[in-house]
Amino acid sequence: MHSVQKRSMEIKIPRKKAKVQANFIVNWWNNVDQWSVLMVASLIMFGVMLSFGSSVAATTRASISEPLYYVYRQAAFACIAVTLLFSLSLLSVDNARRMALFIYGGSLILLVWIMVFGHTAKGAQRWIRLGSFTLQPSEFIKPAAIILVAWLLTRRIYDPNFRAEKFALLLIAVPIALFLMQPDVGQTILLSVTFFIVFFISGMSFKWGAILFASASVGGVALFAFFPHFVDRINRFRDPSKNDVFQIEQALNAIANGDLWGKGAGEGVIKYQLPDSHTDFIFAMATEEWGLLGALLLISLFAVLIVRGIHVASRNPDPFAQLAGIGLFTLFGLQASINLAVNLNLSPAKGMTLPFISYGGSSLIGTAITMGLALALSKNRPGASILRKVSGKG
């Protein structure tokens, strides 16, 4: 009799563990914003799918014998990104803030390291070389900085005497200064604009609005005075007939060749003449192969994720989580918009990737950090519905 009971207990234990694991996943799925998760998953899958079309052309240009070289790497990066994104989405609001502080500090150290020992490519010193991989810390510090800025600005609610604006400005100025030393004007503009939006939403005073406007004006003049490559890109955009705009012309040709239905997956031809067809100009390559309908589908995924994310974040009863969530989805949306604008020749070239779609480990992992922390901050929590009703956001 005792032996039968013992065997029964041995059988029930693993079932109990399996049930706990299943409940863990179910609880996560019920608490996280499901639409955002579905959009993120779709974009990651699209990114891997597009790497099949771009890898052959990219490996041919790089004289790599394995035609699927970039596919394997992108798939590996995607697995790392998904794991990281899921892990970060499990964090509480307080732990998300602590993680942001850790990422900010670590990335800051790496950015300083780059100034001395960084890997240089295309005239910029932005990377750390690790064997066959290159790491770009600027991708990681952006979401961390936005979260910490949101935390500082919302501390005024509890302590009106706290000098939130000064600390927030200092916190964002340090990475921006390091970006400019690389130089990386694109990331500088992206982080600065996101910071201004977060600062504005937080309810900045007229005084600080004037200070930021003056700072932006001085910064704009400095870009024209001290960064000739930035001026060159502006001139190429303003008067393409007098400047070398080979990549933009090829990108526009690829988009035009796509017509409505596209040439078919992997059947694009202009990607062989477009050097960055697997990175900055992957949208042009996708449009040639998938056509206008495929391009609109891709844009729709971004639009739904951005609008949904900002909507969910704006209903968060926690002021810090609300501001940080809006900031993260704004950061994501601005980067996607800039990349698409460059591909469509609506903006000067910035050297900026399309989130989750472009090839690149640092870009993919940096975007995973952004979305993972955004999902963590926007999760449903016990009592959240009551707090929304009390705060008038229900």
Per-residue confidence of the chain (394 residues) as pLDDT tens digits?
Answer: 555 554 544 545 456 666 666 688 888 999 999 999 999 999 999 999 999 989 989 998 888 999 999 999 999 999 999 999 999 999 999 999 999 999 999 999 999 999 988 888 877 888 899 888 889 999 999 999 999 999 999 998 888 888 888 999 999 999 999 999 998 999 999 999 999 999 999 987 778 888 888 888 888 888 888 888 788 888 888 877 666 678 888 999 999 998 999 998 888 888 988 888 899 999 999 999 999 999 999 999 999 999 999 999 999 999 999 999 999 999 999 999 999 999 999 998 888 999 999 999 999 999 999 999 999 999 976 555 444 454 555 5
CA distance 394 to 392: 6
DSSP state at residue 240: G
CA distance 285 to 294: 11
Judge contact between 295 and 376, C-beta under 8 A. no
Judge whether 15 lies within some domain: no
Task: Residue 370: give the domain boundaries.
Answer: 33-391
Q: How many domains does the chain have?
A: 1
pLDDT of amino acid 217: 85
Judge contact between 271 and 277, C-beta under 8 A. yes
pLDDT of amino acid 237: 83
Judge whether 16 lies within some domain: no
Judge whether 2 lies within some domain: no
Residue where the block lists tokens 């040639």: 288
Compute CA 10 distance to the chain's CA centroid, rounded to the nearest angstrom: 47
Q: Are strands 119-121 and 124-130 parallel, antiparallel or unpaired?
A: antiparallel
Judge whether 123 lies within some domain: yes
Q: Helix (H) and strand (E) counts for the chain? A: 14, 3
Judge whether 24 lies within some domain: no
Compute CA 258 distance to the chain's CA centroid, rounded to the nearest angstrom: 27
pTM over 0.85: yes
What is the greatest pairwise CA distance in the chain?
93
Judge whether 346 lies within some domain: yes
Judge whether 113 lies within some domain: yes
Report the C-alpha dihedral over residues 281, 287, 289, 292, rounded to 10 degrees: 180
Report the first-to-last Cα separation within the chain, whole angstroms.
Answer: 58
Judge whether 20 lies within some domain: no
CA distance 267 to 277: 14
